């Protein structure tokens, strides 16, 4: 089985088929968050800080950091956000940008081995992002679209993923450091989007033997009761082979479903984590808000495949 190791200075997270599912917090992203965007552009990172702590307290094993703000100095803002978040939490990070200079600025300051989010199958992206991933010894999210866009045919998406894995190998990046995003479509628009992605996840698991991630919220775009659709999508996708997701850990229903999927997959021995978290938990709140634990209680927690590092991080 393929293990993908991501780390901060002091903590390792291992993404793998025989590991607990890895939840990557999606909240630190100014896209669609006007106040956060304005604050980050103005150099105010207080919301970045509180969002980081709240997501870790809610159960996130990693955090995705995006600083995509129009007309702002994205490389500088992303680097600053990374340094700040690494100073207050020990979870490993995903460095998220469509701008190569921002990825590079982030990689330059990151302590540990991050996940670079992302590279696509587009020729220009492959040849600019992969050398950076190799240079910094990172892992990378591979998005299965290319110059022709996102194919509705999952087998075409599989071929794009395969091309990225092969090209990464040409750059000296092992397939265990490529985490494929199969791309999930809104099921309200494409009725077979769920079946498509299950099929693709099974092929990625069995044939390419890579780990996988996805933006979990897209599936429910336009539908009511989105959290229930997202939670069900994630559990079914985990059954098909999904090993991580970029998601909102502030929705208790979704976190709980992922933890229940760990129980079902046999990745929570003696149901220990499940019992610990839910033995005395109140029932799900009407608001869907999580029953928060104090951040301190969580920061030191060790869960399943997520173990503290004893060696120093890679350069």
Q: Where are the alpha helices (DSSP H) in the chain?
A: 34-41, 46-58, 74-88, 100-109, 123-135, 154-170, 193-203, 226-240, 252-264, 272-278, 295-299
Minimal distance, residue 17 CB to a second copy, in Å: 11
Q: Can you tell me which of 263, 291, 292, 295 binds a second copy, judged by CB under 8 A?
A: 263
Q: Which pair of structure tokens corresponds to residue 37?
A: 């965007």
Binder among 38, 169, 264, 297 for a second copy (CB under 8 A): 264
**Which residues, numbered 242-261, are part of the site for a second copy (CB under 8 A)?**
253, 256-257, 260-261
Question: How many other C-beta atoms are found inside a 10 Å radius of the C-beta of residue 101?
Answer: 14
Binding mask of the shown chain, residues 214 to 233, with x at each position contacting a second copy by CB under 8 A: ---------xxx--xx-xxx
Our CB check for a second copy shows the closer of 266 and 300 to be 266
In the bound complex, what is the minimum distance in angstroms from residue 304's beta carbon to a second copy? 13
Strand partners, 7: 12, 113
State yes or no: residue 187 binds a second copy (CB under 8 A). yes
Stretch that binds a second copy, among 72-80, 82-90, 154-162, 283-291 (CB under 8 A): 283-291
Q: Decide if residue 191 touches a second copy (CB under 8 A).
A: yes
- The yes or no reply on residue 270 touching a second copy (CB under 8 A) is yes
**Contact status: 195 vs a second copy (CB under 8 A):** yes
- b/e map of 243-274 (b: 16 or more CB within 10 Å)? bbbbbbbbbbebbbbbbbbbbebebbeeeebe
Burial class of 128 by CB neighbour count within 10 A (0 to 12, 13 to 18, 19+): middle
Q: From CA 101, how far away is CA 22, in angstroms rounded?
A: 27
- Residues in the interface with a second copy (CB under 8 A) total 45
Residues near a second copy (CB under 8 A) are: 187-188, 191-192, 194-195, 198, 223-225, 228-229, 231-233, 235-236, 238-240, 253, 256-257, 260-261, 263-266, 269-271, 274-275, 278-288
């Amino acid at each position: 089985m393929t293990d993908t190791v991501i780390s901060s200075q002091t903590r390792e997270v291992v993404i793998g088929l025989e590991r607990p599912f890895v939840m990557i917090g999606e909240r630190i992203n100014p896209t669609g968050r006007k106040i956060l965007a304005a604050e980050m552009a103005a150099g105010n990172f207080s919301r970045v800080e509180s969002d980081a702590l709240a997501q870790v307290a809610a159960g996130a094993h990693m955090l995705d950091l995006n600083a995509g703000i129009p007309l702002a100095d994205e490389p500088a803002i992303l680097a600053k956000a990374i340094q700040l978040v690494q100073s207050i939490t020990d979870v490993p990070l995903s460095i998220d940008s469509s701008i190569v200079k921002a990825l590079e600025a982030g990689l330059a300051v990151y302590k540990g081995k991050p996940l670079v989010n992302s590279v696509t199958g587009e020729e220009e992206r492959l040849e600019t992002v992969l050398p950076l991933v190799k240079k910094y010894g990172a892992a990378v999210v591979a998005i299965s679209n290319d110059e022709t866009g996102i194919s509705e045919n999952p087998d075409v998406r599989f071929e794009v993923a395969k091309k990225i894995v092969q090209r990464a190998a040409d750059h000296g990046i092992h397939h265990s450091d490529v985490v494929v995003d199969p791309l999930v479509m809104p099921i309200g628009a494409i009725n077979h989007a769920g079946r498509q992605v299950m099929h693709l996840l099974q092929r990625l698991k069995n044939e390419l033997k890579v780990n996988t991630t996805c933006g979990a919220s897209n599936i429910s775009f336009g539908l009511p009761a989105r959290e229930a659709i997202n939670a069900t999508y994630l559990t079914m996708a985990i059954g098909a082979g999904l090993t991580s997701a970029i998601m909102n850990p502030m929705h208790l229903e979704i976190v709980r479903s992922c933890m229940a999927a760990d129980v079902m997959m046999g990745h929570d021995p003696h149901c220990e984590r499940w019992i610990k978290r839910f033995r005395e938990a109140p029932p799900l709140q009407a608001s869907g808000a999580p029953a928060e634990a104090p951040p301190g209680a969580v920061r030191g927690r060790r869960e399943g495949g997520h173990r503290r590092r004893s060696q120093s991080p890679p350069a």
